[in-house]
Structure 1
Amino acid sequence: MYSNPYEHLSGTIKSSKLKKAGFQEFQFDTGEIKFNYVVGPDNGPPLVLIPAQMGMWESYQKVLVPLSNDFQVFALDIRGHGKSSWTPGEYSWRIIGEDMEAFLTGVVKRPAMIAGNSSGGIIALWCAANLPHLVSAAVLEDTPVFSVEMPRFKEEDRFVYNGLTKLVENIGNPSSRDLANYFNGMEMPVSETRTKRMPPQVVRYLSKKIRKFEKVHPGQPIETGFPSTLRLLLKSLSMFDPDFARAFVDGRFYEGIDHAEALKRVQCPLLVLHGDWQRYPEHGLIGAMDDRDAGRIKELVPDMKYRKIHANHVIHAFKPKLYIDAIMEFAAEIDVLPQPGK
């Protein structure tokens, strides 16, 4: 058993841009965990942003201020991430869904649009299916609907499953881990015949940089590396409970949701944002879902809105303007935002 060494750092937003826009960072005690989040000024209806596995609220920094012009924006660290509580042995869709119920009831206190990226999108789907009184609309941002269900996740489209297995094997012990090992031997297929790998000398250099940072800044999240995407990934990894990933590998996590049944229960407006994907024989699906999955969602939720965006899996970070435009257009279509003259 271990606890999050960074919980006490809550309330330390570094971005002057976010501070100037009125964002603040807080922790909410649900009675079971401490939930870390940032919230912007009350400029409209609530919009709750849920990052991907291994992600933190900081992944949304490029979109927080623009969205806060029309919404009151909340961005979260879910349990096991960032400055929220780590609870090894207690991770599942149901458990995190119940965290969300406590947060929506105790902090947001009115029906909210819930937007989640990747696994955060599955959480948004859980909320839409199980908390209709608390969810005004849901946005699934490149979400692994169907593809993260067993046995498909492990046997057919196994690329992400294998990546989580590797993470657990390489940095699964928080007390004695070298985060650079996560990149050792990591493969990213770019075609049926070509795969990108981080060179071993780069991994060794990164390991040296991390050790140097830890020596100079003991007890602080890792903030080193270049470019900024790598820097944020290392910080997120340093603040991530590996048992969250282990629960996907050993099967504990899947309790609490059947994707098709959850979609059938969705009563609120639904937007699906679909990023780029490929499928290779050796790896399965590279991405969150394929066109067949998107079509199946449409069959189960005929009124859902769909937008294809040619972007990396984390659309809000790599194509922030397109993400903002999609959210704003969806909100206008479903009358979530007040209309001029009304």
Structure 2
Amino acid sequence: MATPAPFDPVREDMQTIAFYNLENLFDLADDRLTNDGDFLPGSKKKWTYKRYQNKLRKLGFAISNIGKEETGKHPSIVGLAEIENAKVIEDLISSQHLEQCNYSYVHYDSPDERGIDVALIYDDAHFEVLESASFSVHLRDANGTPDYTRDILLVSGLLDGIHVHVIVNHWSSRREGEKETEAKRLASSEKVGEIIRSLHQNFHDPKIVVIGDFNDEPHNISIRQLIHAHNLYNPMETLRSYSRGTVFYNGKWNVFDQIFLSINFLQSSQSDFEFFKAEIFDEDFLKLFNGPYRGSPFRTYVGKRYKGGYSDHFPVYSILKR
């Protein structure tokens, strides 16, 4: 395991909100209600206890270091995608590098066909959950049959005493083609819009953070319509380049993992949180270090082949400052 460089002293005036797609964090139990057959000891992927523990340890190391260079500490809030159930979250937050981080979690089972959900872990020394809810996105395939996907998670609480609302997403993939699946992501975008409208109806000038793996880029219509309709700020727009992104997909870099903030995070304040910066957490230890895909995420699997890495996505994060 890589050893990070020394960090500056802890910044009590800063907090990090992050998002990380964990690439199929499944336990070893056979859940007959989910499609977890690939992640069993007897499967072609040979998902074993040793491999599971290695993934937990590596993911925990990565999470514990997100934003640490700037703040001197682990993130206060982390949205997660591709987790199978509550057990894997409990195993993750009790793993070697996270057991001292005071993490608790919010999770709801969703009807996704792959058996994966989103969740939120949070340092309960800095974030107090007041309420949470899960919202389904109702989709249909071309033949009219229901297409079950991940629910959208809303968690509202106090971040060092400031009321914030965090919306965690994992929108439909592009596996059947970008255009062929665009309507599904547009439906998720509309659902997030409904949640934001509800927050504005129930709270005065709510502070909203939207995080997730959107399987679309900042310039795609699902993202643009959400940003423009609800006066959000997307700091991820400028981070993609020819040689950098959050996921290496079909031979090119994409910024599918993003963080949006309500515009009130850009207002100057003496006591409230303000947006400080946003970044892709693409440290060298998360990357392949040789071969034709050098510099891309060091994955756990490529197809059925075990590689022993972290995830096929890089995390993203935003730092708030008071």
Shorter chain as denominator, the TM-score bin is 0.3 to 0.5
- Please state which structure has a larger fraction of its residues in strand: 2
TM-score, normalised with respect to structure 2: 0.34
